[in-house]
Amino acid sequence: MRGEAVTKMARFAPGGRLSALAGYVWRGGRHKQDAAGVTRARARRKFSASRLIMLLALLAMGATLVSAGVGYGVAQQSDERMWSEQRGALRNAIGEFRALFGNNREIDPRFVRMVEQSARLQGLKFETEPSAGEREMQPVLDAQGRIAGFFTWERTRPMSAAMDGLMPYIAALALALVGFAGFSLAQLRRAGRDLTASEEQARRAADEDKLTGLPNHAKTLELLDLYLAEHAAHESTTFALVELDGMEDVTAHLGVLGSDELIVAVATRIREAVPAEAVVGRVGSDEFAVMLIAEDDVDVEPMIRAVLENIARPHWFDTVVRVSAHAGFAQAPRHATTRGELTRRAELALRAAAKKGPGSIVAFEAAIDTVSTDQKFIQRELPRALSANELELHYQPIVAAHGGRIVGVEALLRWTHPTRGAIGPAVFIPVAEQMGLMDTLGAFVLRRALQEAKRWPDLYVAVNLSPLQVRDRTIVDLVRSALEESGVPPSRLMLEITEGVLIDNPEEMVKRIEDLHDLGVRVALDDFGSGYSNLSYLQRFPLDKLKIDRSFVVALGTSANGGVIIQAIVALGRALGLSVLVEGVETEQQRVLLRLAGCDEMQGFLFAKPAPAATIDRLLAQQKQSSGAKALAAPATLTA
């Protein structure tokens, strides 16, 4: 099957095995597909029309010949019927007039005429001897039963004669139809050839990227299959992905047509930089693939470097445009043997190169793959974990900056896998979102947190909502029903959302937060400062609490301005009427500085690590005993 495909391609670009493939794919040209489509439709129409004409011609010819034959038959039959009627009439006449025959063998000519008329015969004669010619003959017996003589008459065939007259015309018509059918056959053949050619063209067009004329994504993968099947034992197939940097900016600058022109130019630059036997395909809007078979010991990185350098040279349009690219590659059989695995690994290498920045080239290596293997593992295991009760909640105390009393707890999801051990929420929650498991997971967290919060009537419980949950309108119903089921007053529930979710659809988010407020719950902005840190959010969204990200606390000790910034944010939050909490407080020094900065609440390992509900029970009991602040200043006792 594959071998066949190779031979087919080789026809288009004679030469070596791989140059045949390469030649096949580089044909360049915009709007080829449209043109091919039109040509093919026209060729199809022509073919159908020619076939119809030819069929009609054959039918007409058949009909003419058949009707000529039938006509002849009918004419002959009608002539024969006429003959037998004439004979019958003659015999009757003879019977009637028998008495008139004398022995003299003479017959009155008037009688002959009478018989001639009554039997409608032509040229009737009475003869005593049988005539030798072509004439019809009927013996006449006298009264004694002896032959008295013979009536003879001319045989007429009026119908057949009429048909004879038509014959030359019929023959001419049949001949004309034969000629026409022959002509139609020739037309049909030509139309068939055109159709095959245009279908071939259409097949090619379906394989090509419309803009650059390079093989498109599907074709590239098909060619990769061929390469993988073709490379010899001492050879490797390299599959490299080249991605342009910042094409959004280029499009914004040049417009869509300009960026199309750039893509075409880049395609040419890539082709120029690779050996003739390499295949270049366009596999995404700003992503290209380069495939090459080479000896195992050939280092392909210089080729890929040449590609990137060639792309980066200035492009002269109306204005000079520069565009950089990065590349990732994997090789078969070293990194993978199947198409799926090879492309996946090249993709991973490309992502790693994107992280490194413009101009980077990354060869696949096993280390890159661990994250995604984890992802696969999580995808497989998470649904099971949910039903097997492997997930539970830990709670991290939140303390008042003044006095250090525990005022609330943040519920944090924990997964302890039977063989892998603890898997962090930051790892598995995004996977749950991707898998559509967040509904189930989110409902589990909310219900469990509210159930367990019943044990701590003086504390509020903070529950994290993933962006997907916040975007979903039904979150309001979920929160309402979870509150009703647990009987926990809504004022004791704090929902934590992150900045990212506010950007996508601000109007809807304002509405969502208001709906949640209407239930009586409070809403905190989590991780403030880790993302966009847009101060305008604080004003725009009806928030209750600001949770300043741990990164600011880290900056407290390391950067000269760290203290100033955190002071400013705390002051701003308070000025806007928000309660300010700082996360990730780990040292006594940080605690003191933050307290001076004016924050309201703190959370961090200095006070307590997230722990099961039972530990919170114990901490609260301790707190009761030793009037608060001092006990909470010593993390060791709290986490024990």
Contact residues toward Mg ion (CB under 5 A) are: 464, 496, 526-527, 583
Q: What are phi and psi of 543, to 5 degrees?
A: -95, 160
All residues at 6 or more sequence positions from 620 whose CB lies less than 8 Å from its CB, including other chains: 406, 456, 459
Pairing of strands 406-417, 460-464: parallel
- Cβ 425 to Mg ion, closest distance in Å? 10
- Cβ 396 to Mg ion, closest distance in Å? 9
All residues at 6 or more sequence positions from 33 whose CB lies less than 8 Å from its CB, including other chains: 205, 206, 208, 210
- Cβ 403 to ligand C2E, closest distance in Å? 19
CB 237 within 8 A of CB 342: yes
CB 368 within 8 A of CB 336: no
The interface partner of residue 425, options being ligand C2E, Mg ion, none and the CB cut-off 5 to 8 Å by kind, is: ligand C2E
The interface partner of residue 207, options being Mg ion, ligand C2E, none and the CB cut-off 5 to 8 Å by kind, is: none
Contact call for residue 605 and ligand C2E (CB under 6 A): yes
Phi-psi label, residue 31: left if phi above 0, alpha if psi -120 to 50, beta otherwise: left
Q: Among residue numbers 424 through 443, which ones bind ligand C2E (CB under 6 A)?
A: 424-426, 429
Of 275, 241, 203, nearest to 9 (Cα)? Answer: 203
Provide the sign of the torsion angle of the four alpha carbons 330, 334, 336, 338, taken in this order: positive
Of 248, 246, 391, nearest to 326 (Cα)? Answer: 246
Coil, strand, or helix at residue 141?
strand
The interface partner of residue 396, options being ligand C2E, Mg ion, none and the CB cut-off 5 to 8 Å by kind, is: ligand C2E
Closest CB to ligand C2E among residues 79, 526? 526
Closest CB to ligand C2E among residues 188, 494? 494
Q: Among residue numbers 530 through 589, which ones bind ligand C2E (CB under 6 A)?
A: 550, 583-586
* Near ligand C2E by CB under 6 A: residue from 90, 94, 159, 445: 445
Number of residues that bind ligand C2E (CB under 6 A): 23
Closest CB to ligand C2E among residues 148, 438? 438
Integer Cα distance of 300 and 281 in angstroms: 17
Contact call for residue 527 and ligand C2E (CB under 6 A): yes
Contact call for residue 604 and ligand C2E (CB under 6 A): yes
Of 105, 505, 342, 595, nearest to 350 (Cα)? Answer: 342
- Cβ 465 to ligand C2E, closest distance in Å? 6
Closest CB to Mg ion among residues 527, 601? 527
Contact call for residue 615 and ligand C2E (CB under 6 A): no
Q: Among residue numbers 464 through 523, which ones bind ligand C2E (CB under 6 A)?
A: 464-466, 496
Closest CB to ligand C2E among residues 304, 378? 378
Q: What are phi and psi of 379, to 5 degrees?
A: -55, -40
The interface partner of residue 472, options being ligand C2E, Mg ion, none and the CB cut-off 5 to 8 Å by kind, is: none
Closest CB to Mg ion among residues 33, 464? 464
Taking CA atoms, 387 is separated from 373, 375, 451, 527, 546, in Å, by: 22, 19, 19, 30, 35
Report residue 517 as tokens.
């407020």
Stretch that binds ligand C2E, among 31-39, 244-252, 422-430, 562-570 (CB under 6 A): 422-430
Where do contacts with ligand C2E occur on this chain (CB under 6 A)? 396, 412-413, 424-426, 429, 445, 464-466, 496, 526-527, 550, 583-586, 603-605, 610
